[in-house]
């Protein structure tokens, strides 16, 4: 398994994070949440007063923050300039702005380079939106997780407080549109990826299915 790279892509609420961490634990692999890196970059921009809707402003400062991602699936970490931001990056301000920051080419170039450095020789499960298509197109296994809009919204609502299924469904639809229509590295299913609809599956079933696919490819 040492050289194995498992790429897991898909939209918000499809179950990528929980499934990817579970697969990594099951197979004794490292784990990387690339979405947390984009959130961390967004958090830094907001903290430094950068207008996230201004691509030139974001691009001009994309090289400044120092990001560090811990890859233990039992407890992945994310730090910016030495500060633990694991909780801060899940706030509404970051969630509402991350697609804008992630669409900036300079941000994507920097973070893709960082992700490839972390992947290194392999032994890792990597989740995001462009892993199989851009970050690791030669991955051992590429999986694209999907789910119905209702299922995705229900899952996200269960994770959060002070929100509704309707609000989450609207927010996800907006983010899906932004992510799939951006000019640089849009969300899409990579060539050769296995599409897995998780609507009717529980977490254990998703993990078991991906583990089986990994073992078949490995």
Tokens of 162: 């002070």
Under DSSP, is residue 137 helix (H, G, I), strand (E, B) or coil? coil
At residue 49's C-alpha, the angle toward residues 44 and 54, to 5°, is 90
Whether 23 has a pLDDT exceeding 70, the answer reads yes
Position 38 scores a pLDDT of 97
Please, how many CA atoms are within 13 Å of residue 43, restricted to the half-sphere of its CB? Answer: 22
The Cα 121–Cα 2 span in angstroms is: 8
pLDDT for 108 equals: 96
Contacts of 207 (CB under 8 A, 6+ apart): 19, 22, 23, 26
Q: What is the pTM of this model?
A: 0.90
Integer Cα distance of 184 and 103 in angstroms: 6
Contact yes or no for 95/2 (Cβ under 8 A): no
Nearest to 11 by CA among 116, 148, 133, 126: 148
Q: In this predicted model, what pLDDT tens digit does every residue of 136-192 receive, in sequence order?
A: 999 999 999 998 888 888 887 777 667 788 887 887 877 777 777 877 777 788 999
Compute how many other C-beta atoms are within 10 angstroms of the C-beta atom of residue 178: 16
- pLDDT, tens digit, for every residue of 111-132? 999 999 999 999 999 999 999 9
pLDDT, tens digit (0-9, with 9 covering 90-100), for 42-61 = 999 999 999 999 999 999 99
DSSP annotation string for 38-65: HHHHHHHHHHTT--TT-HHHHHHHTTSS
Mean pLDDT of the chain: 92
CATH number given to 5-198: 3.40.50.300
Domain ranges of the chain: 5-198
């Amino acid at each position: 398994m040492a050289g194995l790279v498992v790429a897991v892509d898909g939209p918000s609420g499809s179950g990528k994070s929980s499934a990817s961490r579970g697969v990594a634990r099951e197979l004794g692999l490292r784990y990387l949440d690339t979405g947390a890196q984009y959130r961390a970059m967004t958090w830094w921009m907001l903290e430094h007063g950068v207008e996230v809707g201004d691509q030139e402003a974001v691009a001009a400062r994309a090289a400044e923050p120092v990001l560090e991602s811990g890859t233990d699936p039992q407890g992945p970490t994310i730090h910016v300039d030495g500060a633990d931001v694991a909780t801060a990056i899940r706030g509404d301000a970051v969630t509402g702005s991350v697609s804008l920051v992630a669409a900036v080419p300079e941000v994507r170039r920097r973070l893709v380079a960082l992700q490839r450095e972390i992947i290194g020789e392999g032994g890792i499960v990597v989740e995001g939106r462009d892993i199989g298509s851009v970050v690791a197109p030669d991955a051992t296994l590429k999986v694209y997780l999907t789910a119905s809009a209702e299922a995705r919204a229900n899952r996200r609502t269960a994770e959060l407080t002070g929100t509704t299924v309707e609000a989450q469904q609207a927010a996800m639809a907006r983010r899906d549109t932004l992510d799939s229509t951006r000019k640089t590295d849009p969300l899409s299913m990579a060539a050769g990826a296995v599409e897995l609809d998780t609507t009717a599956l529980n977490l254990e079933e998703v993990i078991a299915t991906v583990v089986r696919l990994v073992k078949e490819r490995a």
